[in-house]
Amino acid sequence: MDIVDLARLQFALTAGAHFLFVALTLGLATLVAVIQTRATFSGDPVHLGMTRFWGQLYIINYAMGIVTGLVMEFQLGLSWSGLTSYAGDVFGAALAIETLVAFFVESTFLGLWIFGWNKLNRWAHLALIWVVTLTAYASAFWIMVANGFLQHPVGYVLDGGRLRLTDFGAMVANPAAQVAFLHVLSGAMVVGGFFVAGVSAYHLSRRTVAQDLFRKSLRIGVGVALPALLVTATFGGMGFETLQPAKAAAWVNDAVQLAAVQAGMAAELGPGDYLPSVGAVRAGGLVMMVLFALMLFVAGPSFLLMLIRPVVRGFRLWHWLLTLMIPVPFVAMLGGWVFREMGRQPWAVYGLLRTSDAMSPVSEGQMLFSLTAFVTVFAVLIAINCWLLARHARRGPGAVALGDRPIEAPVPVPSF
């Protein structure tokens, strides 16, 4: 591997790892908000317990996602200063808005939600989780706006060797960003749905306490996962209409199309290799689609089975199948991310800045050290997150600290 490949590998591993946290955060935030809405309107203690249980898992994943996001952003200055110097004035605007939304608004309201249990009015507390959820959507939206510009640059002019933003509305309305955002958001609902269904199925299979809580949670998880799969497929199909010519040719592996794209770009931009890795593009797309078919095959019958109460309680084979399905949507999301990002290569900003020109002036030794350090940090963070999620998920609602009423100290009785 040369230094550019090492830098690309580093960013691919760290961005892909962070993406997993984001997917579960978006999905769980939505489900927690919906469950708390039901609990607030009905006063049902089961739904209140569901809110606390799934809310605690959401908080664990959110906290680790924030840490990985902060670490990942260091790479823009360490490894990709050429990109930030050339195009930072354009896509940096979207990233700045995302930072304000995610780290100030979302984090502030999430803190109020966490520490506001049993202190705030129930309607005010419900409003907080919906603000958290909507700002999470907004955060993901602005990330996809920045990424959409890198995929299909619009709304800019080249001024003095750097890109300058001239039409903010065009960048926001970029179809490469809009469709991708809806595709990612619905995919996150699939991740959240299968996670909730899988954890619930685990507890139902083991006949742990709070069976009613997990029976209802399983129904919610499956009830979200199936329609979310269909919506994801719809926006995924629409996304194929926004593909760059090189990515579209690589996906179908058409030698004639690939040659035509290469010849056209060489004639416009000069000699060079302008085609992405056909193998990587096809592998990412196939993983995404095959796992989509698997999830649909499981979610479809599960949607019917969940309507039969005795089956929900006692069908252990189905329970174990749902539990084993927990990692599948994560892998499918990674496959889609590989398909999208590898198809943009060899460009950092498609058609304008090659990845090799976006690199920082670092040596191979520095890049190897950076790669080792980042991979080590992210491996530790992922391991900690998985351990914490598994530990708290297995312990069940009886061990949840979120929203637990503090034990009041006894009032001292004066002695006479």
* Domain encompassing residue 197: 3-244+276-399
Residue 337 lies in a domain: yes
Q: CA-CA distance, 231 to 237, in Å (whole number)? A: 10
User: Residue 195 falls within a domain, yes or no?
Assistant: yes
Stretch 182-202: mean pLDDT, rounded?
A: 94
- pLDDT reported for residue 408: 43
Separation CA 209–CA 47 (nearest Å): 15
Query: Which SS3 state, helix, strand or coil, does residue 107 take?
Result: helix
Within 10 A of 87 (CB to CB), how many other CB atoms are there?
Answer: 24
Residue type, 336: G
265 located within any domain: no
pLDDT of residue 285 exceeding 50 = yes
Q: Across residues 355-368, what is the average pLDDT?
A: 87
Sign of CA dihedral 305, 311, 315, 319: positive
Domain membership flag for residue 152? yes
Q: What is the mean pLDDT of residues 386-400?
A: 86
Q: Which residue, chain included where needed, has tokens 């001024």? A: 159
Q: Is the preceding peptide bond at 153 cis, omega within 30 degrees of 0?
A: no
Average pLDDT, the chain: 88
Cβ-based neighbour number of residue 167 at 10 Å: 12
**Per the domain annotation, does 134 fall within a domain?**
yes
Measured CA to CA, the distance from residue 217 to residue 44 in angstroms comes to 14
The answer to whether residue 92 scores a pLDDT higher than 90 is no
Q: How does pLDDT run across 41-79, given as a tens digit for each residue?
A: 998 899 999 999 999 999 999 988 888 777 777 777 778
pLDDT given at position 93: 86
Please report how the helices 175-205 and 278-305 are oriented relative to each other, as an axis angle in degrees rounded to 10.
50
User: In the structure, what pLDDT confidence band is assigned to residue 280 with cuts at 50, 70 and 90?
Assistant: very high
- Here the tokens at position 274 are 């302008």
Determine, yes or no, domain membership for 263: no
pLDDT band at 142 (very low <50, low <70, confident <90, very high): very high
Q: How many domains does the chain have?
A: 1
Q: Inform me whether the pLDDT recorded for 405 exceeds 80.
A: no
pLDDT-above-90 percentage for the chain: 47
Q: Give the pLDDT band (50/70/90) at residue 409.
A: very low
Q: For residue 342, is it within any domain?
A: yes
Question: Which residue is associated with the tokens 């927690």?
Answer: 32
Rounded Cα–Cα distance for residues 385 and 103 (Å): 20
Tell whether the torsion through CA atoms of 236, 253, 290 and 5 is positive or negative: negative
Percentages (nearest 5) of helix, strand, coil residues in the chain? 80, 5, 20
State the alpha helices, DSSP H only, in 206-315: 211-239, 245-252, 255-269, 278-305, 309-314
**Tokens 């019958």 sit on residue:** 301
Q: State the SS3 of 145-191.
A: HHHHHHHCCCCEEEECCEEEECCHHHHHCCHHHHHHHHHHHHHHHHH
In this structure, is residue 251 part of a structural domain?
A: no
DSSP 126-146: HHHHHHHHHHHHHHHHHHHHH
Per-residue pLDDT, averaged over 351-368, amounts to 88
Q: What's the CA gap between 156 and 170, in Å, rounded?
A: 9
Question: Has residue 312 got a pLDDT over 70?
Answer: no
Q: Name which residue leads in pLDDT, 374 or 229.
A: 229
